[in-house]
Amino acid sequence: MRPLYIWCIFGTCLVATIITMLWVNNIVWDLEKAQQQASHEALVEENVRLALWRLDSYLAPIIAQENASPYFFYSSFYPLERAYSKMFDEVYAGEFLVPSPLMTTPSKNILLHFQIHPDGKMTSPQLPSTTMRGIAVDKYTTNKKIDIAYSLLSQLRQKVDFEHLQKILPRNIRKPKTAIVHGTPKNKRPTYTSRNAVPIQKEFHIEKEVSQNQQQMQVQKKTWFEKNQSEFRVRKQYQQLSSTNSMRNRIPQNNVGEGLMKAIWIKDVLLFIRPVMIDNEYYFQGCWIHWETLRKNLLENIHDLLPNANLKPHNHSHQEARILAMLPIQLLPGNVDFSGISQLSPIRISLMVAWGCMILATIAISVLLFGVVSISERRASFVSSVTHELRTPLTTFRMYAEMLNEGMVSEKKQKRYFATMLAEAKRLTHLVENVLEYARLERKRTQKNLQPLQVDKLLNHMQSHIEQRAVQGNMQLVMDINDELCKQMLYTDTTIVEQIVFNLVDNACKYASNGKEKRIVVSGEKTAHYFLLKVRDYGPGIQKKQKRKLFGAFSKSAEEAAHSAPGVGLGLALSRRLAKHLNGKLIHDHRVTDGAMFILYLPLYNKTT
């Protein structure tokens, strides 16, 4: 199979694998995002529920305190001796008057307490009448507070419509049936599981409902909105229970009925207000909430859960999503950052490991495939080249042997025939030695025999051998190395250097025998660390397309071997490997245009070598 087909098949499989991995990665990534989003929403909703409970728990005592205030607290002063009877009647001389706690101990979350009479008149316990102002200023309040109360009451009169209140407020007023003065029977008392726990009342079954709601939500997998709805109802029941309990310790009166406080928004004003029936006449009592102060306190209370939360008035046209049970206020959680959600989830780590393994596997398969294809091509080139190189001398041996055996050659020609057979045998021996040496280098089994050696001794050792090869190629060998260079000391292996130079001279004899000058020049040059041994011929040189595979092993194809000089294309590849083995290098000098020049770098000897 051709290498191109192999690489095409590999590329197709790789593309298909990458597309599959991208598809799987996209699906898993979407699932991961959905899972993280769900986890984030679950954490947000959990914090929202905790925040709602915390906010309602903060508001519960405020509302309970307002519900616990009896109706006569909304007068600046009231007669103590009447003991809850006819508290709104005219005050007579000599009666002992008590200041209203709503005037003496104002709350930081409340701007103003007020009362609306049946005729629409609006008064405030914080604003005593003209006759009582002197007494109030002397002991219980200040002129500044009274002036502020007067200003607030004037503003409230402009914003509150008495007729509108009568329409929106219910008049289902409960009168307490029993009085709890000195104690409560055990079967009538509310019970508590802990200090901050919700009272367990048989009529509400709060804990039971919460448990049932949670189990039902887990089984039926309700949405977060449904969970908020369920918890809102429970918190609403808790608010009603707290308000009801705050009114139980009242002395019953036949002519008085008090309703529960209800929170309403009138424009930008938040009011707690309740209907009160006295002698079959309806009053409205309540307070003006300091919204900015209350909002700030509420947000500080949940800052650890929802740091970017906000509170805004609730439009009752919407459903009860994230609404406080105590007040018509909607909780906006804002952006919640959960640093606990790890960005490197197990799924992402698995994807990264899978991609890493796929990349490593692709690289390993590519390298392996490249090596297999390269070995296959080199083997094919080697077989074709060696087959051609062996066929010619073997044919010569067979033909000459048959002729000599049959006595077809005269005695005068036999010597020439024997010389030809000897030359072919030497050429085959040189070819086999090169192949074996290259194989040893590939397996790194060649032994180094480096030793200090003078240049002139090296030249004398190999000169006769390379001159003989030049003569066989009808070439003239010229040694152009002066005496000073001959005295240089090298640290090398004589046998390997001789083999490299012989290969270079052999190539010159093959390819430059038809050149304009039939001579091979061996010259030298010294640098700081190397002795440069140059071998040059004056043949046709090396073409550009051949330079790319000049030092490639078995670079000749069968067709090239048939139409070129003898050889398998191994000499230069072997020579470069041998030069590297000597800690040197072999290069082709591209600057030479008339012929070819190769430069062998041999390391100089020094004491540290």
Q: What is the pLDDT of residues 302-347, one digit of tens each?
A: 998 899 999 998 866 555 578 888 888 899 988 887 665 556 678 7
pLDDT of residue 473: 84
Would you give the distance in Å from CA 240 to the centre of its chain? Answer: 50
CB-side neighbour CA atoms (13 Å) of 445: 7
Q: What number is the average pLDDT over the span 38-50?
A: 87
266-271: average pLDDT: 87
CA atoms within 13 A on the CB side of 435: 17
d(CA 558, CA 446): 29
Task: Please give the average per-residue pLDDT across 166-183, as a whole number.
Answer: 55
Between CA 459 and CA 498 the distance in angstroms is: 9
Q: Residue 183, by phi and psi: left (phi above 0), alpha (psi -120 to 50) or beta? A: left
Average pLDDT over residues 153-170: 81
Cβ-based neighbour number of residue 141 at 10 Å:
20
Q: Which residue has the higher pLDDT, 212 or 4?
A: 4
Residue 601 has pLDDT above 90, yes or no: yes
- Contact 384/557 with Cβ under 8 angstroms? yes
Q: Which long-range contacts (CB under 8 A, 24 or more apart) does 81-87 make?
A: 83/251, 84/251, 84/253, 84/256, 85/253
Which of 7-21, 224-238, 522-536, 541-555 bottoms out in mean pLDDT, i.e. has the lowest?
224-238
Give the pLDDT of residue 110.
Answer: 92
Res 205: pLDDT: 40
pLDDT in tens, 121-144: 899 999 998 888 888 888 888 999
Beta bridge partners of 600: 533, 586
Contact 286/113 with Cβ under 8 angstroms? yes
Going by pLDDT thresholds of 50, 70 and 90, the confidence category of residue 221 is very low
pLDDT in tens, 364-411: 999 988 888 877 777 776 676 666 666 767 777 788 888 888 888 887
**What was the pLDDT predicted at 167?**
76
pLDDT tens per residue across span 453-466:
899 999 998 888 88
Query: What is the enclosing helix (H) or strand (E) of 389?
Result: helix 346-405
Q: Where are the domains of the chain?
A: 70-174+247-286, 370-603
Taken as a whole, the chain contains a residue count of: 609
Say if residue 211's pLDDT is above 70.
no
pLDDT band at 539 (very low <50, low <70, confident <90, very high): confident
Residue bearing tokens 């609006």:
122
Sign of the torsion formed by the C-alpha atoms of 123, 125, 126 and 129:
positive
- What average pLDDT is seen over the chain? 78
pLDDT at position 192 over 60: no
Is the CB of residue 523 less than 8 Å from the CB of residue 536? yes
The answer to whether residue 575 scores a pLDDT higher than 50 is yes
Name the pTM for this structure.
0.51
At residue 292, the pLDDT reads: 92
The sign of the torsion formed by the CA atoms of 12, 14, 20, 25 equals: negative
pLDDT tens-digit series, residues 82-120? 655 666 666 666 677 889 899 888 788 899 999 999 888
The strand pairing partners of 478, in sequence order, are 521
- Please name which of 456, 394, 383, 381 lies closest in space to residue 421, comparing C-alpha atoms: 394
Instruction: Write out the CATH class of domain 370-603.
Output: alpha beta
The tokens 């390391």 sit on which residue?
A: 603
Q: Is 334 left (phi over 0), alpha (psi -120 to 50) or beta?
A: left
State which of 162-176, 228-242, 251-265, 594-608 shows the largest mean pLDDT.
Answer: 594-608
Query: Which has the minimum average pLDDT: 178-182, 202-206, 435-439?
Result: 202-206
**Secondary structure of 278-312 in HEC code, one letter for each residue:** ECCEEEEEEEEECHHHHHHHHHHHCCCCCCCCEEE
